[in-house]
Amino acid sequence: MKNISSYQNKQVLVIGMGKSGVNSAKLLIKLGAQVIVNDKTDQPDQSQVDELKKIGVKVVTGSHPLELLDGTTTVVKNPVVPYNNPLVAKAIEEKISVITEPELAYQVLDATMIGITGTNGKTTTTTMITEMLNRNRSKGKAYAAGNIGIPATEIAQQATSDDVMVTELSSFQLMGIKTLHPHIAVLTNIYEAHTDWHGSHANYVNAKMRILMNQTENDYFVVNWDNEEARQFSKHTQATVVPFSREGRTEEGAYERDGVLYFKGEKIIDADQIGVPGLHNVENALAALAVAKLMGQTTENIKEVLQQFTGVRHRMQYITTFNERKFYNDSKATDIEATQKALDGFNQSVVLLAGGLDRGFKFDRLVPYFKKHVRALVVFGETAGLMANAGKKAGIKEIVKTKNAVTAVPEAYQLSQPGDVILLSPACASWDQWPTFEVRGDQYIKAVEDLIKKKEEAK
């Protein structure tokens, strides 16, 4: 970790007591800052509060008082706190620097940074890259960090110059960067998403493009050449562009041709040898192997990782097979495109569990995928009616409305037949019923386990 002096004896306000906020506060104390942590909750985790106070952090909860800005030189903002939050807006008005946690982490980072962003596939690609770079590594370590659930500030404090920090970066996080500079930036794809938070698709795209703003001609930009909007990003970087394509649009970087994955003409692996199903995972593998090759990894090590890769929790995660039904958890599918890709990953009939937060979208784009893959549909949450209407347009005859992803499990099993896939892929955020998609997925997994237990006991 670099021992920087820019925060010495400076007052820094950290907004949000999540993992990133707590780790930011701990790092700032190490850097000699006077730290205030503020969270709007009036029932904070008392053990966290006690831990922070013990190391000299002032903790203010229950509201966002504007007087916290008095004497503050920097605000480290939780990524999901909007910029129109009165405290954040006032800080910007007073020209106080407002950053997010990955920016703070980068300022002290000794390791090489690889940054991954995109609408879908970020976590899987981040995980693949990390595993590839660690396979038979002789010196240093690759760490996964960022939006994947491991605070970048936590990793930055332990990573050395021999290491690599493979960092998943959301649009919310990228809004708050200033100096963050990945040696390799990856854009998995770009689709309509988070317009409720960003205000427009253009704002969302501009947030994603910030991953490129500090790159130079000595860096690399790995970009999805099959995604037209993503290709446009390549016009806005000084870095060397390394495209990847599942549709054979390029042979310059990583690509698939006739069921085989290549990097610049060298065969890497047959697509059907990848350990996780779905065309989207072929795209993720192409992005990951491009990064691994740029970092000097061998083809054999890359191939081994892809063959053995079994997925990431909540992202097309295989749970179990029971009575000839395969259960999958894709709770991370918080937008329509993610569910489209999930459905395209299966040749079997699917009983789909879908629904959640209403962001004002219709689900007509799912109709052709429903027609092709879905035999029965269980809907829930704020969008249950909209999802059911899309199912009716697709000609699905068995549609059941239920409360949530937990109550959907027995309904889905009842509708299923031997050989079916039972898939949670909501196409919606979880916030109408669950605090995160992880909680939704965990509750779904538990519901599957409970269902199987009851069925076994009834025998």
The C-alpha atoms of residue 212 and residue 191 are separated, in whole angstroms, by 18
| C-beta separation of 381 from 357 below 8 A | yes
**Structure token digits, residue 13:** 């306000």
- 115 carries a ligand binding annotation: no
**Structure token digits, residue 155:** 């990793």
| C-beta separation of 126 from 202 below 8 A | no
- 120 carries a ligand binding annotation: yes
The C-alpha atoms of residue 15 and residue 190 are separated, in whole angstroms, by 29
- 119 carries a ligand binding annotation: yes
The C-alpha atoms of residue 370 and residue 321 are separated, in whole angstroms, by 23
CA 339 distance to own-chain centroid: 15
- The SS3 of residue 185 is strand
- The SS3 of residue 371 is helix
- 124 carries a ligand binding annotation: yes
Burial class (CB in 10 A: 0-12, 13-18, 19+), 427: buried
- CB neighbour list of residue 97: distance below 8 Å, 6 or more residues apart: 73, 74, 75, 178
**Structure token digits, residue 268:** 């890497």
What is the Rg, in whole angstroms, of the alpha carbon atoms belonging to the chain?
23
Write out the binding residues for ATP: 118-124
Write out the binding residues: 118-124
